[in-house]
Amino acid sequence: MTEIKTKRYLPCPNCGQHDFLVDHVIDDYVRELGPWSCRVCHHDVRFTAGNGRIENVTSKPSPYTRMLSLLRFRDLYVVVDFYSRGHDQGDDWYDYKFHSHQCPTNIMGSALEVYDPAEGRDPHGIFRFVAALPDTEENRKKLDGAGSLQQLFLLFDTDGQEAPTRWPENERGLLPGLAKAQDEYTKMKAAKA
């Protein structure tokens, strides 16, 4: 017999069109959570979770303004959604949210677009492959324990350098023709003298 596993979600009590994943908060520890913002109707949802249950669910229009935020990682630019700014927050509202509070994993989960100064929108080849290892429970535990770049490199048995590519280096290791298309885009967007 095949076993079926499911994840538990709390549908937005206002619109019912967005589902909040709650598997990670329904445990033995009862606590109040929220506000969690609905991505569809922009209502804030608060609730009590624990002991396998969700209770005291409330919803009201969010007092915050939804924002699209442009972030930079070295020369890579990423647009993310699902972040809000409070009307009472100062001009540095983003400082806590992005520079200290949000995990990069959560930020990347909200990515809408990626831009590169040289290649423009959605630049293929910007992420360069370094190494891989089997996705096993043991390796995931090791990954969780890798607290430094050195430990990460040891786990992946690499020095951190890009893996060899069969695509021509003179075309930046991209599929043939892609580098040429990116170069044409760069010329088109370059300032005219």
Q: What is the DSSP string of 127-160?
A: SPP-------HHHHHHHHH--SHHHHHHHHTS-S
β-strand partners of 73: 76
Pairing of strands 111-116, 120-121: antiparallel
Sheet with 43-50, edge to edge strand ranges: 31-37, 43-50, 53-61
Specify the pLDDT at position 80: 83
pLDDT for the residue numbered 135: 84
Q: Is the peptide bond before 134 cis (omega within 30 degrees of 0)?
A: no
pLDDT of the residue at 121: 79
pLDDT per residue as tens, the chain (193 positions): 899 988 899 999 999 999 988 888 888 789 998 888 888 899 999 999 999 999 999 999 998 888 888 888 777 778 887 677 877 777 777 877 777 666 676 677 777 788 877 777 777 767 777 888 888 889 888 988 888 889 989 999 999 888 877 676 677 666 667 777 777 777 777 656 5
